[in-house]
Chains A and B, each alone.
Chain A
């Protein structure tokens, strides 16, 4: 059975629906991420799980039992807030001991557990400090230690890395992964950063305008986006208007505006004549000086219109025909990789038949 189940949950603020008819299941031990742009309802959903907000409709169930009547302090969940929410008038040790004191744990046993928790997050000598004397990363670790000390069933994390700088964020990401593995507690993680979601999660729920757009593993949502929004929000994607001409199971033959016939895979079952988009990831496009041969691949002649050097890769803007502009991404495998092509160059684009995804509208 799922650890946590969210059934048709809706929450309105004023007349606006922050979350509408959201349903999902979270399995024990999972690192589950709610991903979406700001205002998509992910934080509201997290707050409803924590018990700070009450759903207008629908249910939230823990082990199959409805949590509607359970106040936040009686839910076996803890939250790591974006602002960390460390109590400024308590020392680090008192902050970490707070959940134990609230649960009336014997003061004699308490000290040893706090010391162990401090060790777990490598802050052994920081127990007597006040939160104001800590760096951002240290505050983050205190917030984690405090939320994990009494081993909650679920740890809720609300954009916990948003306030950290890039290097520290990357370091904390790998710490979070190993921490989750070590403690074995189910994590529900909220973020607007798609890279972070892909790197950390076992499964991702992509949210848009209060609705759950798609639930899947990182590679599922990246490789098989269920709709235009998911394709566009996760990573970069060329989206070209297309129409189904013929189909053979999941393989479709499309008529793409400005390109003509292209073969692709369909994310969902579709019918001849369906309209939608061809979603094509920039890294799946090959650029060559000479036409390459490959039976199943799509080939087009294009002109380089723009170039952006990003260190590890170079992104080219390529115009095909007179109307279609696509992005292609090339790894800079040699030092001169960046100057492989220049604006104005005529090049050949190709991609395998399984590179493109057809996403039909509606």
Chain B
């Protein structure tokens, strides 16, 4: 089953180094397609857009998501958990269509801004869930101990809660960045005409013809995503959370 899952990926990586233009048979190793890729101005612009959107969206979503995660942990609210978790279950296509209609209603011109807003919206939930998981693993008496030893409410947050939350915040930010840079469906609906991200660019190229250049860009995207996922996994259990 895993073979079935990963074999196509391996094929894409392998053929990104293939000399043949048509891709069917192996004719020799080359880095030619990577050179083509980096010389492709449109592709580079799409990559730049993806990067900007990913960074702005993940940073904003991390701020809001962290606050939401703190609220989820601190107050035993009824509605907020539902509001936070539901977006994770809503299909992307629904997100895409509803955000598009919403932006049109607001008379917002579709472009970078609308894509960023859309990405922030769906990334908040991921960050909030990661933060809450991190906080629920924390010994409650640590905050009380800080107060008891002379820290104010702010001081106990600054010196105890925040440092213990930090790995969760970083993991949440990386997760949001991964979600943003890989997103196709929601971006497709909210990008408008002028703005192209990497996944959108790949899609339009594939409609014309499959060139090894697509294999090359897919390989790079895959490597980036894997590195991020690895970083998230490494961060999660690394620093002890203080449970006795």
Query: Contact residues of A with B, CB < 8 Å?
Result: 50-52, 71-73, 77-79, 81-89, 98-99, 102-103, 130-132, 146-147, 150, 163
The interface residues of chain B lying within 8 Å CB-to-CB of A83 are 139, 141, 244
> Beyond A83-B141, A89-B164, A102-B155, is A77–B244 a contact (Cβ under 8 Å)?
no
Within 133-161 of B, Cβ neighbours of A (below 8 Å) are at: 139, 141-142, 144-152, 155, 159-160
The chain B residue with its CB closest to the CB of A104 is B150
Please tell me if the beta carbons of A99 and B244 are within 8 angstroms of each other in the complex. Answer: no
- Contact residues on B (Cβ < 8 Å of other chain), bracket: 20 to 34
Q: Interface segment, B67-75, B193-201, B234-242?
A: B234-242
Please tell me if the beta carbons of A73 and B164 are within 8 angstroms of each other in the complex. Answer: no
Complex: A83 Cα to B138 Cα, angstroms: 12
Please tell me if the beta carbons of A71 and B147 are within 8 angstroms of each other in the complex. Answer: yes
Complex: A5 Cα to B239 Cα, angstroms: 42
The interface residues of chain B lying within 8 Å CB-to-CB of A146 are 149
Q: What are 6 of the A-B contact pairs (CB < 8 Å)? A: A51-B147, A52-B147, A73-B151, A78-B148, A85-B145, A132-B240
**Smallest CB–CB gap between B163 and chain A, Å?**
5
The interface residues of chain A lying within 8 Å CB-to-CB of B148 are 50-52, 72-73, 77-79
Complex: A73 Cα to B149 Cα, angstroms: 6
The chain B residue with its CB closest to the CB of A76 is B150
Please tell me if the beta carbons of A102 and B145 are within 8 angstroms of each other in the complex. Answer: no
The interface residues of chain B lying within 8 Å CB-to-CB of A88 are 142, 164, 239-242
Q: Chain B CB within 10 Å — which of A50, A72, A84, A147 has the most?
A: A72
The interface residues of chain B lying within 8 Å CB-to-CB of A103 are 150
Please tell me if the beta carbons of B149 and A102 are within 8 angstroms of each other in the complex. Answer: yes
Interface residue from B139, B152, B239 paired with A73 (Cβ < 8 Å): B152
Interface residue from B147, B160, B240 paired with A72 (Cβ < 8 Å): B147
The interface residues of chain A lying within 8 Å CB-to-CB of B163 are 89
Interface residue from A50, A84, A87, A89 paired with B244 (Cβ < 8 Å): A84
Complex: A79 Cα to B244 Cα, angstroms: 17
The interface residues of chain B lying within 8 Å CB-to-CB of A99 are 149-150
Please tell me if the beta carbons of B150 and A73 are within 8 angstroms of each other in the complex. Answer: yes
> Beyond A84-B244, A88-B240, A89-B239, is A102–B151 a contact (Cβ under 8 Å)?
yes
Interface residue from B139, B141, B149, B239 paired with A98 (Cβ < 8 Å): B149
Please tell me if the beta carbons of B150 and A87 are within 8 angstroms of each other in the complex. Answer: no
> Beyond A85-B139, A88-B164, A102-B150, is A79–B241 a contact (Cβ under 8 Å)?
no
